[in-house]
Amino acid sequence: MTHVFSRLPRDLPGADIRIIGPRSAGKTAFLASLARWSNARFDTPIQSVHPFDENAGKLVAIANDILENGLAMAPTRADEDGNTLPRYTLLIERKPALFQKRNIRLQVSFREYAGEIIRDLCGGSSGINMRNYLDDCAISSGLLLLIDGTSREDSLYAQAFARLQLELNERFVSRNKSLKSYRIATVFSKAEQAQVWIHRHDMKKFVNLRFPQTKETLKIWSKTWGCSVNYFFCSSFGMKGNPPSPNVKVQARDSGGTYGVIANPSVWRPFGLFAPIFWLHTGKDDRRLREIEE
């Protein structure tokens, strides 16, 4: 009986994460790639990913029907009410770290917001019900800020996140919610692109060069709340070939970033998706989950 029990995963309390980022940062692609979890290496730290509910199952279908056919994903609708946005819940099982005997299983729920919220936080008027979005965000256990690593809109993000901090602070205080226990993962997507890829081993240099204002805003946020902020790279499509090249067909580039679809679905292997989620859930930075296959 003891032997059987020792092989069962250790279940952690659930987490409820919100994903905020500009239009076309890849929020839906991030979630679909996470749910699909394709072509994983045998030595990956992740044992399995399973959809927990019907909405999460739809993410897998999206990945199969759209991403694998080389089509672009539809953006989150701006006219959708923040209270009725779908919540996607996944069961993620991680293999034991050094000196651990049992797998760890996480139940994580996600909601992603329409990218229009970024400009609306800066005074825009896209038509979204921002109050509902912010009220919903205030009940989350953690925040994932997804930014296209190739974008050139550092000032916009810094301004938006400064306003976001003020709005959430007001809601947290009114609900007597702890500020110090909150975690903010800033994730730079499109890390397969050359201008990000060259910095894959030096996050500090990358952030200082390309997003100094955003970094300063988040530094102030962390100091004001006493909360934790961390930075991550990810790619929903990954690399292909040897030597590696981006597994992406680029369709357009502008100040907002890079827009494209998967180039070769048969070798689709995302990277960096699990590291920010595990950190948001546990507060522990598992370096194995940050590893990028080269």
For each of the chain's 294 residues, which pLDDT tens digit applies? 344 445 788 888 899 999 999 988 999 999 999 998 877 888 899 999 999 999 998 888 888 877 777 777 777 776 677 778 999 999 999 998 877 789 999 999 999 999 999 999 998 877 778 999 999 999 999 999 999 999 999 999 999 999 999 999 999 999 999 999 999 999 999 999 999 999 999 999 999 999 999 999 999 999 999 999 999 999 999 999 999 999 999 999 999 999 999 999 889 999 999 999 999 999 999 999 999 877
31 vs 49: CA distance, rounded Å = 12
pLDDT at 6: 55
| E-strand stretches of 116-176 | 142-148
CA distance between the termini of the chain: 42
37 vs 283: CA distance, rounded Å = 23
For residue 247, give the nearest of 201, 205, 197 by alpha carbon.
197
For residue 146, give the nearest of 280, 51, 36 by alpha carbon.
280
pTM: 0.94
The count of C-alpha atoms lying within 13 angstroms of the C-alpha of 105, restricted to the half-sphere facing its C-beta, is: 14
Q: Which amino acid makes up residue 150?
A: T
The count of C-alpha atoms lying within 13 angstroms of the C-alpha of 45, restricted to the half-sphere facing its C-beta, is: 21
Contact 127, 79 (CB under 8 A): yes
pLDDT at 101: 81
Sorted by where each starts, the structural domains of the chain and their CATH numbers stand as: 2-290 (3.40.50.300)
Task: Kindly state the helix (H) or strand (E) to which residue 274 belongs, with its residue range.
Answer: helix 274-282
